[in-house]
């Protein structure tokens, strides 16, 4: 069967996909294209830097200036510029979560941690864009954000909660030390063209674990793809 691996964003796509799309997702994950074009990199990078800078928009403003001055000629580059500008404009309309402006917040280096966790023998690449910790009342609390930018494939509320649940479980498994705890309300899916910032509630913190049939189906399709 091999090493079954899927990214958490693709997993969120999978749970709402048609049968044909599910198979396509698995085929793409199984035979990952190392030369696949990465879209909206300038926009994504500036959003992450802004979030890590307590919402100060200097990085976003600079990125918008760069994009406005660009004169792309290729169709892909034109589309990238248009969607990137729209994504940045939408991002600035969202209110940055309070956690990111708390005094003493510390951002951890994601590269220091394994970027995946395993559920029902399926490896899920979570790779939060930001992992942070804050000390409150003498207790060190962890949280994280996963960014998604796709105008044609925005996630619905359930999918974003599913991703936020994945962040919560990932931080518990891969990052939290014995003296640290993970707050589900600080585990956030940020979908620029979806519902903005969506955390997971305590009652839904195990959402990604609830349906083992999802992972059984992935394994069956993986073997058939």
How would DSSP label each residue in 26-75? HHHHHT--TTPPPPSHHHHHHHHHHHTTTT-THHHHHHHHHHHH----SH
Q: What's the pLDDT score for residue 60?
A: 96
Q: Do residue 104 and residue 168 come from a single domain?
A: yes
**pLDDT score for 36:** 59
CA-CA distance, 47 to 6, in Å (whole number)?
A: 24
Same domain for 57 and 23, yes or no, is no
pLDDT at 2: 57
Compute the CA torsion angle 45, 6, 79, 52 (nearest 10 deg).
Answer: -20
> Same structural domain for residues 215 and 180?
yes
pLDDT at 1: 44
Helices (H), the chain: 8-14, 19-30, 41-51, 58-69, 75-93, 157-170, 212-224
Q: What are the tens digits of pLDDT across the range 88-98?
A: 999 999 999 99
- What is the count of structural domains for the chain? 2
- pLDDT beneath 50: ranges in the chain: 1
Same domain, 56 and 121: no
Residues 62, 164 share a domain: no
């Amino acid at each position: 069967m091999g090493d079954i691996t899927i990214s958490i964003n693709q997993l969120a796509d999978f749970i709402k996909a048609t049968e044909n799309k599910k198979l396509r997702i698995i085929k793409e994950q199984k035979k990952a294209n190392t030369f696949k074009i990465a879209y909206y990199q300038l926009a994504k990078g500036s959003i992450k830097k802004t979030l890590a800078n307590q919402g100060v928009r200097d990085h976003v403003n600079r990125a918008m200036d760069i994009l406005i001055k660009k004169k792309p000629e290729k169709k892909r580059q034109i589309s990238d510029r248009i969607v990137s500008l729209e994504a940045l404009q939408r991002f600035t309309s969202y209110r940055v979560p309070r956690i990111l402006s708390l005094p003493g917040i510390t951002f951890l280096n994601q590269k220091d941690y394994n970027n995946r966790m395993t559920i029902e023998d399926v490896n899920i690449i979570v790779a939060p864009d930001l992992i942070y910790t804050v000390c409150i009342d003498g207790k060190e609390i962890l949280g994280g954000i996963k960014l998604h930018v796709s105008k044609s494939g925005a996630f619905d509320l359930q999918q974003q909660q599913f991703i936020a649940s994945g962040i919560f479980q990932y931080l518990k498994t891969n990052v939290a030390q014995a003296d640290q705890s993970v707050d589900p309300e600080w585990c956030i899916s940020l979908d620029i063209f979806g519902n903005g910032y969506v955390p997971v509630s305590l009652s839904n913190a195990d959402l990604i674990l609830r349906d083992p049939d999802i992972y059984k189906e992935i394994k069956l399709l993986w073997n058939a793809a």
